[in-house]
Structure 1
């Protein structure tokens, strides 16, 4: 439903002098007109003046009503719009019940010329070239007799390529009372229909909602849908309960944007309903693939429309498949993990996570020279890999087979296996002995080699300073590479250091050999206090790490980013902060919204309580909530996205970088790290090699 495009309406309420007065006619007509012209419901254009969209009078003539209908038809034709026509009042049929006649002021049941032939009027309206479709609402006695002759409309100017929906208040041999149809319809449209989706059609679902309001009358409907070029369903009103299940549609914002652009360049007058359902996608696909279109269509964009709709249909099928095949394991966290594994950016996430990830993968992540479905196949493979749902694999492989992408699917799974082995391979470096300055020795453990226990070695530092520490890290790296003997490359390095070094040192910027440590390695910074507790806090280590494990599990279920932000006013009162820490206030992720001058003291106070701490690099321009916004944007990728952000920071002119994730510092203790620390709990580590 493209904004700014008109839908036209004409509601007629006619009293008849030869028939009993209808006391509810005017209020029913006004109520129906009101809901049909409400911008959030019927969305029809209200008109006043010489040709109003609401025509109520005790002195109407057949000519006046016919002229009003023709004017509404003209406006709909000019706007290529839908026309909603409502006739309220008295009606009669011939003895053979062949046709309904709408009565005006001077009409009598003894003269068909004194009234309007409703079927003929509808045939004229719907057969007018340019009218997008007609929805007729007939609230009279014997309304069921008002249906047009299908033979006439099939053989008219448009050869039946038209759309008509009719809702009738009563059967062809049945009176209608109290304007029940109009009043009931206004009520239903204002209230909405649960489960009907974003828009309401003149279909059985709507009739079912109307029947409780039309007791004693056989409310009915008729539809003639035969326009191969209609890209939008013939909807009566937007559903006031469109937040119900299925209302979000089969297409997300990204796909809709691509489709709207292509359709507008192909046929500028074609409108898309919002949201798009799967049925509407199917109709548009068939429409776009027609071999012949009218002269107003631009054939140059036909192929693009077919391509986009075809892609969106595959996306819709993929979403359905994943919802079914992974029903027991599909969660938001799993989807975000798969997004990261598949290499999609945070921008791929949308309000409907699965649908929007699938669309992004299909529309944006396909390589310029690679297979068409490369991005989507990689995402589905990532979901298969992360979910571990082996029973779903036959269905996922069949899906890849249908796309002729089995090789790409298997390649992605193999690449993820390699990455998993690489991610599991980590070098842990501990600078725990640096009690006041730089360490005299560095402990190293190589994790993920397949050994039951990590391999450990202690390296003495040639000098207890920054340069000596960097040289020793280099020695530890050479030792680890020697143990690997040409297997998976060593990428991941955990650096655990005491608070005074964390406050002033960026390990990834240590010059090790020819390059900075972070050029070829992904560095995650840890606090050595969880790895090697001192004599003072050794007995508290198990409690400290167990609390961190509970906090991390609780954070995993958070719908929002679970960061508690601390400002300067909180840090100005260390005693009050300590009280808050001991009462469990800051036990998840803590963010400092500025770089405090007393960062070392702050870290020493926070680190035993919070498993994750974030703060800005010194000199970073993080005012006006920019640090919070960065963390909010990248939270689900942290800390994995930080090493690349640090490298990017080195590559750009930092003065031109307004929002740089590389300015975010973090100490991060995930569950894998806490498990690594478990052997050290409740012990004072004098000889780390003895702990294994």
Structure 2
């Protein structure tokens, strides 16, 4: 299954004429939108701005619906993409007719002109040249009336050469209740369908799975396919519950690509078996080691084929070992965390995380001058570290001895443990009192695991401006070094500042003593608003925890970008923020002139906010791609990136050091917990 671009539009409309609002409408719309934009599941492009991929509310009009559809169709035509459309809300069919009409704010069942003709809408999208297909989910009463007349497609501008799949919530004479289709569909896409393959389609298998969950309404489906040259199958989502791997397919896309290339180097183009099993790999290894062939193009490549086959067999063996040993703790989140700790990019986890991460470890993370299996040893060590299993465990040591990587595993485990211990020692410096300009004093907390920690102190800023803050930071550092028990070293500093300082001040570039602060310390910027004695701190921190949990479950960079157009309509942006539509990290894809005001708006709604430096002009248009590529390095990689930027930056067109960030992780939110109740106390020790 390929990963072509797919564009999503979820429309959830309330209707005044239907009485009380649908209580679960927005919940269902958000659940469906989230799963369909999850890179590891629905894989659709999430959009914000003027034409977002989620349109929900009680004020939507026919014009809003048509404009949103026009926008997503134009984008799909540009990308040659599939459109996924979901309509949630009220629907009706006129007397003696079966055509479904989707109801918006001012619709009534007495006027078809007041509502949206769903069949015509669906047929029109599918018939648009350049659209690679349409999948429609219709969760309304009488939803089966949304299925268009095939004649509309056969007689359209594409002469019927289009593709369409429609999933409906109820028969043409039935009500649909409680948004059951959307909620059940979202749940099914997240959990998967064991009886299906690697992908889920609008087919009998999916319909049966949904019908088993929903009673009182008939889940229906319809398919139309007359396009002989599609770019990819019309799949709805990847199937996390697929049991395809249990049938013996042990090789993922990275392994298949490397094996294909090495075999072609050796003997020219050769078709590999559709399913590569342990048995297939063993036969190939035996043939490579002993088989006599007359058509070798490059005899030296025989060894390369043998190396790839050996690596893939080790992936299969280690996968079985981990699946048995870590059976109680092996989750997708554990795998993602271990991949990040091992230094793997987010795309390494693929669609079958354990297999694909192991393939990356043996085929991409192996240094040419390193010990054999070093990348694999590091990843396995990271898994055990996150699972809380000691590296001295006999089973891990036995596995390491088998590959002769005992030293590599032990070194990695010690490194991870030491890094965790060092990170626990932090100096928090708060400039929360700087309401308009620079503060008169800074509050400081020294955090760690010693018996006397944490400690609190405050230091006056004897002179104005950043110079006074720098002197206060220097005094705080002297105090912290005296208080730290031997042999602890202070390496990490958190600077919490208000929005007006975050917009223009780079604390790591402040000279403190002989050095720039960031030259000797890893400096991470936070927003001091979470330390203010504000009534809504508990609310915004709880929302941030929910977002962080979602971010941790994402395979790709979970950033929603805000464009110039989105900032132009500030009231609409604030509404979308308050409606929870930016439930991810937020990135500003440009440097706005009023950055201070923008940060003041965004920071209460997002635990992570990114933007480019004001002097990073060559970065225009490159920021989302750069963040996506380097997400696995954040936020830790920022400190090193800033240092690199000081060394040589001329001619750099896309530099991690050009990215500014305010980053609130779980540990920081725990630090903020005492301030949620308007009581300023020394925070408890981090765990």
Alignment TM-score, normalising by the size of structure 1: 0.59
Cα deviation, residue 558, structure 1? 4.4
Counterpart Cα distance in 2 of 1:407 and 1:358: 19
CA distance, structure 1, for counterparts of residue 525 and residue 502 of structure 2: 8
The Cα offsets for residues 564-595 of structure 1, whole Å up to 9 and x where unpaired, read as 33233333344444444444344543222221
Find 2:644's aligned residue among 640, 648, 654: 648
The answer as to 2:667 corresponding to 1:672 is yes
Quick one: distance in 2 between partners of 1:532 and 1:195?
52
Q: How does 1:423-434 map to 2 (within 5 A)?
A: 423-434=423-434
Match in the other structure for 2:657: 662
Distance 1:271 1:483 in 2: 67
Distance (whole Å) between structure 2 residues aligned to residue 585 and residue 345 of structure 1: 26
Which stretch has the larger CA shift, 511-520 or 341-350?
Answer: 341-350
Asked which structure has the greater RCO (Cα within 8 Å, sep 6+), the reply is 2
State yes or no: 1:510 paired with 2:506.
no
Q: Which residue of 2 aligns with 1:133?
A: none
- 1:317 maps to 317
What does residue 381 of structure 2 align with? Answer: 381
Partner of 1:213: none
Quote the offset at 1:352 in angstroms: 3.3
Alignment of 1:56-455 (within 5 A): 245-246=244-245, 249-268=249-268, 271-274=271-274, 276-290=276-290, 293-294=293-294, 296=296, 299-346=299-346, 348-388=348-388, 393-451=393-451, 453-455=453-455
Distance 2:316 2:323 in 1: 11
- Structure 1 545/451 Cα, relative in aligned 2: closer, same or farther at 3 Å? farther
1:439 CA drift (Å): 1.9
Structure 1 residues 549 and 197, CA, compared in 2 at 3 Å: closer, same or farther? closer
Q: Distance in 2 between matches of 1:317 and 1:408?
A: 19
Q: Deviations over 1:569-627 (max 9, x none)?
A: 33334444444444434454322222111111121222223222222211324777422
CA distance in 1 between partners of 2:609 and 2:494 (Å): 16
**Once superposed, what is the RMSD of the aligned Cα atoms?**
3.4
**C-alpha separation between the residues in 1 aligned to 2:600 and 2:621?**
25
2: CA distance, partners of 1:349 / 1:379: 12
CA gap of 1:581–1:317, structure 2 versus 1, over 3 A, is same
| Deviation per residue, 1:660-683 (Å, 9 max, x gap) | 222221111122111101112232
Aligned to 1:620: 616
Q: Note if contact 1:326-1:392 (Cα within 8 Å) is conserved in structure 2.
A: no
| Contact 1:457/1:689 (<8 A) preserved | no
Aligned residue for 1:666, secondary structure, equals strand
State how far apart, in whole Å, the 2-side matches of 1:520 and 1:345 are. 27
What is the DSSP-based 3-state SS (H/G/I as helix, E as strand, rest coil) of the residue aligned with 2:590?
coil
Match in the other structure for 2:549: 553
* 8 Å CA contact 1:255, 1:312 repeated in 2: yes
SS in 2 for 1:446: strand
What is the CA deviation profile of residues 432-491 of structure 1, one whole-angstrom value per residue up to 9, with x for unaligned ones? 122221222222211123347511221222312112222322232232223335424322
Quickly say closer, same or farther: Cα 1:388–1:261, change in 2 above 3 A: same
Checking the alignment, whether the CA contact within 8 Å between 1:444 and 1:456 is kept in structure 2 is: yes
Q: Distance in 1 between matches of 2:480 and 2:574?
A: 41
Native 8 Å contact 2:267 2:295 kept in 1: no
Distance 1:519 1:391 in 2: 33
Q: Does 1:634 align with 2:633?
A: no
- Alignment correspondent of 2:457: 457
Aligned length: 451
1:348 to 1:556, Cα distance in 2 relative to 1, 3 A: closer
| Secondary structure of 1:311's aligned partner | helix
- CA contact 1:497–1:528 (8 Å) conserved in 2: yes
C-alpha contact 1:614 1:664 (8 A) present in aligned 2: yes
Cα separation, 2, equivalents of 1:305 and 1:577: 54
- For 1:373 and 1:643, locate their aligned partners in 2 and report how far apart those are by CA, in whole Å: 30
State the SS of the aligned residue for 1:681: helix
Seen in structure 2, the aligned counterparts of structure 1 residues 510 and 274 have a Cα distance that, compared at 3 Å, is: farther
Q: Is the 8 A contact 1:251 1:276 kept in 2?
A: yes
1:525 counterpart = 2:525: yes
Report if the CA contact (8 A) 2:671-2:683 is conserved: no
Q: Give the counterpart of 1:599 among 586, 595, 600.
A: 595
SS at the partner of 2:300?
helix
8 A contact 1:594–1:622 mirrored in 2: no
1:608 aligns to what SS in structure 2? helix
Larger Rg: 1
User: 2:449 is paired with a residue of what secondary structure?
Assistant: coil
CA distance in 1, matches of 2:383, 2:368: 23
Deviations 1:189-213 (A, max 9, x none): xxxxx99999xxxxxxxxxxxxxxx
| Residues 1:539 and 2:535 aligned together | yes
Q: Please give the alpha-carbon distance, in whole angstroms, between the structure 1 residues aligned to 2:296 and 2:579.
A: 71
Change (3 A) 1:546 1:531: same
C-alpha distance in 1, partners of 2:649/2:604?
Answer: 37
Change (3 A) 1:315 1:455: same
Structure 1 residues 475 and 388 mapped into 2: Cα distance closer, same or farther (>3 Å)? Answer: same
Shift in Å, 1:360: 2.6
Question: 2 CA distance for matches of 1:689 and 1:558?
Answer: 34
Matched position secondary structure for 1:276: coil
Change (3 A) 1:690 1:378: closer
Q: Distance in 1 between matches of 2:391 and 2:613?
A: 47
User: 1-side partners of 2:296 and 2:613: how far apart?
Assistant: 59
Per-residue Cα deviation, 1:304-362 (whole angstroms, up to 9, x for no partner): 33233222211221122223322332233322221222233446443433223222322
Distance 2:683 2:581 in 1: 37
What is the aligned partner in structure 1 of residue 677 from structure 2? 682
Mind listing any 5+ residue stretches in structure 2 that lack a counterpart? 1-194, 200-234
User: 2:50 maps to which residue?
Assistant: none
Q: Secondary structure at the match of 2:504?
A: coil
Deviation at 1:394, TM superposition (A): 4.0
Alignment match, 1:126: none
CA deviations over 1:82-136 (Å, ceiling 9, x no partner): xxxxxxxxxxxxxxxxxxxxxxxxxxxxxxxxxxxxxxxxxxxxxxxxxxxxxxx
